[in-house]
Amino acid sequence: MKKKHNQQVKISTPNRVDMSDFEVTLQQLNDLLTDESGFYSWPTKHFHEVFPRIYVGNAFVAMNVMRLKRLGITHILNAAEGNSFMHVNTNAEFYAGTGIVYHGMPASDTDHFDLSVYFEEAADFIEKALSHKNGKGKVYVHCREGYSRSPTLVIAYLMLRHSMDVHSALAMVRQKREIGPNDGFLRQLCRLNQRLAAEGKLWNK
């Protein structure tokens, strides 16, 4: 038994060193989201292309089919499906006949809502959307304001499908659009980061 224990120590020591490179705090993520004075910025446009052919935006554009068609959007991911004030009441029927593929998730923008249960599902949908028409698909990911729920799902997609650590993925989206995922969502992204790092699925800068 003793010998086996020694072997485990040898294997886990370098892993512990590597893991520290991926440890991210809530404060570090909030620092990326705010300016020098610690203020968050509200989105300056209805939508932004945050990654090639991935657009994050608000309900206003999501409900404007003509505008979506002009943008060449082939897929819609509604991260706020529902009919309350905080949600966007669209569904597959809303886009019937437009050629736009719809997928909805009834997420709420609160600290205690577990958005992470949708991370894989959203990543799958975004991946399928982008491979549409031999890699010419465009996906519009939205919630009510395109500020918290939808960018969180896109950040999770970049981590799950592009092996980005949470710091890089969040910085990339923030560079393109003013966003402010709530602290609960940021914690869920930190947990995803820890899991992917432990599984050796993140590239280290």
Q: Which residues are catalytic?
A: 143
CA 33 to chain CA centroid, Å, is: 14
CA distance 1 to 128: 48
Task: State in Å, rounded, how far the first CA of the chain is from the last one.
Answer: 37
Comparing C-alpha atoms, which of 116, 100, 205, 96 is closest to residue 160?
116
CA distance 186 to 201: 19
Burial class of residue 46 (count of CB atoms within 10 Å of its CB; 0-12, 13-18, 19+)? middle
